[in-house]
Amino acid sequence: MQDFLQERRTVRKYKNERIPQQTLDYILKAGMRASNCGNMQLYSFIITKDEEKKKQYAPLHFNQPMITQADVVITVCADINRFNHWCEINNADKSLNNFLFLNIATIDATIAAQAITTAAESKGLGVCWVGTVNYMADQIAEFLHLPDGVVPVACLTIGVPDENPDLTERLPLDAVVHSETYKDYSDQDIRNMYEAIEENPVNRGYVKENNKENLAQVFSEVRYGKAGNEEFSERYMKFVKSTFLKQ
């Protein structure tokens, strides 16, 4: 199990093979067995398998090919709708329409999504987390007919792998582990921790292609620029206020 976890890869290319329903059920049940707050299970899993539906879904994920290639697309949502409905029919207060439980439900949905990922990979399947769900949450919600109180958190593409990509580089362990209290970093600490990533030939290629001085500029000015971040952030907050935080 240790080697399996240490060698996990993001898989973006899939064979045209179906995942047996029994296997899919096992994967989804693994997500439901994940830890969550108060056993309220404030999440839902939207399964997209229909080929035409995946083609329609792809533009909301910037037409990344994983959406149409994968056998299964799972959109994991933070969901207080079901719990609120349960409270309503039992004459109980609906108490979760607030930022605290937006955070809690998002965490629980993310934990469930990671459990789904681990279960799928344990069955030899490939998984990719598609981050565009955070940028396009409002349109994805409309496409999936999500009611008030349901916010998409993660999108997973799952299928039989058609590639075995190299391991993605990671920071050294001491970059993220702090003993007893947080120890802030010196400039030299940061240089040392990021040196291997910056010297990776692929990343050096990104710097050259984008005509930047270094990899940090590629991330903060090209991939995740401030203007775009603020625009999507404002759009996301408007959506969340209109649905999850709706009183």
Per-residue pLDDT, 3: 78
Q: What one-character-per-residue DSSP string does 117-151 give? A: HHHHHHTT-EEEE-GGGGTSHHHHHHHTT--TTEE
* Burial group, residue 64, by CB count within 10 angstroms (0-12, 13-18, 19+): middle
Q: Give me the count of residues in the chain.
A: 247
Buried b (16+ CB within 10 A) or exposed e, 101-118: bbebbbbbbbbbbbbbbb
Extents of the domains making up the chain? 2-165
Per-residue pLDDT, 148: 96
Per-residue pLDDT, 5: 85
Cα 158 to Cα 160: distance, rounded to the nearest angstrom: 7
Per-residue pLDDT, 7: 87
Low-confidence ranges of the chain (pLDDT < 70): 1-2, 247
Cα 22 to Cα 136: distance, rounded to the nearest angstrom: 31
pTM of the model: 0.94
Q: Give the containing element (helix H, strand E) for 215.
A: helix 215-217
How large a percentage of the chain has pLDDT more than 90? Answer: 94
The third-level CATH classification (topology) of the domain covering 2-165 is NADH Oxidase (3.40.109)
Report the SS3 class of residue 48. Answer: strand
Per-residue pLDDT, 2: 52
Per-residue pLDDT, 63: 97
Q: For residue 78, give Cα distances in angstroms to 83, 101, 162, 232, 244.
A: 11, 9, 31, 19, 9
